């Protein structure tokens, strides 16, 4: 009798133990299967907007997303890859950096994730990271911006027609009311300070020398000591013309997100801010809450002369590209979603926010603000050249950033700055450069 009781008890305990163990295993497996980790650079308000997209993804697919945002993206990614804890998906603004991971076979191809065939309706441009003989797709652009728009607040200064040529810009400088500076400038963006200045050089080189020269320079085939490149730097100095708010030291210490603040003071401290399309959202976050279209507008960086219609001029663009470091179904699903029109719709809050993509299916008319629609139209129709500094190998990019800061401090040191840049270019193996730059050229 007692032995039978004990047998029952033992059997019951065994059953409970097995059930508990199975439950733990199943739960652990389920937990890991329902998650994907993402690393990107968005913080603050941009992070909040991106998290809306991730929340929508979770609602649709039941996959939880662990997001980490940092401006020290490169350093964090290098450390995590080294430690074997790379995120499942990383979103970088630098194709050159992604290409280096692809060469190390740390990135997984996306050919089976997205429709990358020629002529695909949904295919974003800048899909392929061509490097030598590699032809697979390793990253997809999920967000894009035009570089080199010139934002302004004071319509009285700019006039009814925005400047059409560089001479018009020089004229504006002379028209600034006494004591003011024409240009707002902010170079600080730790740890990548200096990149706003590289945007200037890129736009100027593109306007002065054309897409082919730009491509050669971006791919490392054109010397920094070439007349075209030196001319671009000198032209920048001439355009600034010493008319920079606060002087060079203030400019290099000012955060790029704060460069436009003096535009909205009374009287304005500066009048024009050469920046990217995402700045509209930054301005609207200022204390005075200016509104696009009403309180500020933009015009595209003009051609050197009026010979070439602006509409046909290439635009410099940057894009945030998503790459997969862990080839899991969850990571693939996330990338597929981020490249979709639905993700853009959520991100742009139904067209009310300045969030742009290279997805050709987005109708520029979907944007509520005409200025946003204009930006989207340019992205959809104009020839596009990828931001050159983002294409360059990291060593070259860092040197380019530094050169901008040095040049602002002392333009007379241009010759030695250029020599140093050229020395860095020559020290980099050609295979580390990307040949992708301008679209359709």
Partner 1 sequence: MTIARFLGSSRPGDGADSATGVALRRLRVALLACAVILLLTTAVLFWETRATTNAVARQSAPSIVELTAAHEALVAADLAVIRSFDSGEVRLAGPGADYQDQIAMATQSLARAAEANSAGPEASQQIQLVQGLVVAYMGLVGQADANYRQAGGAGTGLTYLWYASQLLHAPAGGVLSQLEELRDSNEELLTDRVGTGVRAPAVALSWILPLLALLVALWLTLGFLKRRFRRTVNLALLAAAGLALGLAAAASVSFVADSRLQSIRDDLAQGSYDSQVRTEALAAGSGAVLTDLVRAHCQGDDGSGCDAEALETILRADSRNGAGRDSAGGHDLGQAALTAVPVTERISSATAAADVVLLAPLFGLGIPLLILIGLHPRIDEYRYRAR
**Residue ranges binding partner 1 (CB under 8 A):** 37, 43-44, 66, 68, 70-72, 75-80, 83, 85, 188, 190-191, 193, 242, 245-250, 252-254, 258, 262, 269, 402, 405-406, 409-410, 413
Widest pairwise Cα distance in the chain: 108
- Sign for the CA dihedral angle at 24, 27, 29, 35 comes to negative
Do 254 and 248 contact (CB within 8 A), yes or no? no
- E-only strand ranges, 346-418: 384-386
Three-class DSSP category at 299? strand
Is residue 172 classed exposed, middle or buried when 0-12, 13-18 and 19+ CB atoms within 10 A define those classes? buried
CB of 260 to partner 1, least distance (A): 13
CB of 38 to partner 1, least distance (A): 11
Q: Considering beta carbons, is residue 302 or 323 the nearer one to partner 1?
A: 323
Q: Considering beta carbons, is residue 110 or 263 the nearer one to partner 1?
A: 263
Do 243 and 172 contact (CB within 8 A), yes or no? no
Q: Considering beta carbons, is residue 177 or 227 the nearer one to partner 1?
A: 177
- Sign for the CA dihedral angle at 207, 212, 217, 219 comes to positive
Length of the chain: 441
**Peptide bond preceding 387 in cis form (omega within 30 of 0):** no
CB of 74 to partner 1, least distance (A): 8
CB of 68 to partner 1, least distance (A): 5
Do 374 and 149 contact (CB within 8 A), yes or no? no
CB of 52 to partner 1, least distance (A): 19
Is residue 433 classed exposed, middle or buried when 0-12, 13-18 and 19+ CB atoms within 10 A define those classes? buried
Q: Considering beta carbons, is residue 78 or 366 the nearer one to partner 1?
A: 78
Q: Considering beta carbons, is residue 69 or 220 the nearer one to partner 1?
A: 69
Q: Considering beta carbons, is residue 150 or 417 the nearer one to partner 1?
A: 417
CB of 304 to partner 1, least distance (A): 26
Which residues contact residue 255 at a Cβ distance below 8 angstroms, ignoring those fewer than 6 apart?
Answer: 186, 188, 189
Q: Considering beta carbons, is residue 245 or 283 the nearer one to partner 1?
A: 245
Q: Considering beta carbons, is residue 198 or 203 the nearer one to partner 1?
A: 198
Q: Considering beta carbons, is residue 252 or 315 the nearer one to partner 1?
A: 252
Do 196 and 275 contact (CB within 8 A), yes or no? yes
Which residues contact residue 333 at a Cβ distance below 8 angstroms, ignoring those fewer than 6 apart?
Answer: 36, 61, 63
Three-class DSSP category at 300? strand
CB of 39 to partner 1, least distance (A): 9
Q: Considering beta carbons, is residue 164 or 420 the nearer one to partner 1?
A: 420
Q: Considering beta carbons, is residue 58 or 165 the nearer one to partner 1?
A: 58
CB of 421 to partner 1, least distance (A): 15
CB of 362 to partner 1, least distance (A): 31
- Sign for the CA dihedral angle at 248, 249, 252, 257 comes to negative
Do 257 and 251 contact (CB within 8 A), yes or no? no
Residue 257: which of 272, 278, 242 has the closest Cα? 278
Cα 58 to the center of its chain, rounded Å? 24
Do 386 and 436 contact (CB within 8 A), yes or no? yes
> Across the strands, what pairs with 66?
37
CB of 269 to partner 1, least distance (A): 7
CB of 276 to partner 1, least distance (A): 20
Do 79 and 322 contact (CB within 8 A), yes or no? no
CB of 329 to partner 1, least distance (A): 20
112: tokens are 């089976």
- The Cα–Cα gap between 387 and 202 comes to 7
Q: Considering beta carbons, is residue 17 or 352 the nearer one to partner 1?
A: 17
């Amino acid at each position: 009798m007692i032995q039978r009781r004990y047998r029952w008890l033992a059997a019951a305990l065994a059953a409970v133990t097995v059930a508990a163990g199975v439950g733990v295993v199943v739960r652990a497996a389920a937990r890991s299967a329902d998650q994907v980790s993402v690393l990107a650079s968005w913080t603050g308000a941009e992070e909040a907007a991106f998290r809306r997209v991730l929340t929508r993804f979770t609602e649709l697919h039941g996959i939880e997303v662990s997001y980490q945002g940092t401006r020290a993206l490169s350093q964090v990614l290098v450390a995590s890859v080294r430690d074997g804890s790379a995120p499942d998906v990383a979103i970088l603004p630098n194709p050159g950096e992604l290409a280096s991971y692809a060469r190390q076979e740390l990135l997984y191809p996306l050919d089976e994730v997205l429709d990358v065939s020629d002529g695909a309706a949904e295919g974003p441009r800048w899909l392929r990271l061509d490097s030598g003989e590699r032809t697979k797709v390793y990253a997809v652009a999920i967000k894009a911006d035009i570089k080199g728009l010139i934002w302004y607040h004071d319509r009285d200064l700019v006039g009814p027609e925005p400047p059409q040529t560089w001479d018009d810009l020089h004229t504006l400088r002379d028209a600034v009311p006494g004591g003011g500076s024409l240009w707002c400038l902010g170079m600080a963006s730790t740890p990548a300070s200096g990149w706003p200045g590289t945007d200037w050089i890129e736009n100027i080189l593109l306007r002065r020398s054309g897409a082919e020269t730009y491509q050669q320079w971006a791919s490392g085939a054109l010397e920094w000591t070439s007349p075209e490149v030196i001319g671009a730097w000198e032209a920048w100095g001439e355009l600034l013309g010493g008319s920079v708010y606060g002087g060079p030291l203030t400019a290099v210490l000012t955060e790029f997100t704060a460069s436009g603040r003096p535009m909205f003071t009374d009287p304005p401290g500066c009048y024009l801010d050469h920046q990217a399309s995402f700045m509209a959202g930054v301005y609207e976050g200022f204390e005075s809450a200016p509104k696009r279209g009403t309180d500020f507008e933009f015009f595209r960086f003009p051609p050197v002369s009026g010979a070439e219609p602006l509409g046909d001029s290439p635009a410099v663009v940057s894009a945030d590209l998503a790459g997969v470091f862990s080839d899991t179904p969850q990571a693939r699903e996330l990338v597929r979603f981020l490249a979709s029109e639905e993700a853009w719709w959520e991100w742009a809050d139904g067209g009310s926010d300045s969030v742009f993509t290279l997805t050709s299916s987005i109708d520029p008319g979907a944007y509520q603000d005409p200025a946003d629609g204009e930006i989207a139209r340019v992205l959809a129709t104009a020839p596009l050249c990828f931001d050159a500094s983002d294409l360059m190998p990291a060593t070259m990019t860092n040197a380019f950033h530094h050169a901008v800061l040095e040049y602002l401090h002392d333009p007379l040191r241009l010759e030695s700055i250029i020599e140093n840049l050229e020395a860095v270019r020559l020290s980099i193996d050609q295979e580390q450069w990307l040949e992708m730059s301008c679209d359709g050229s």
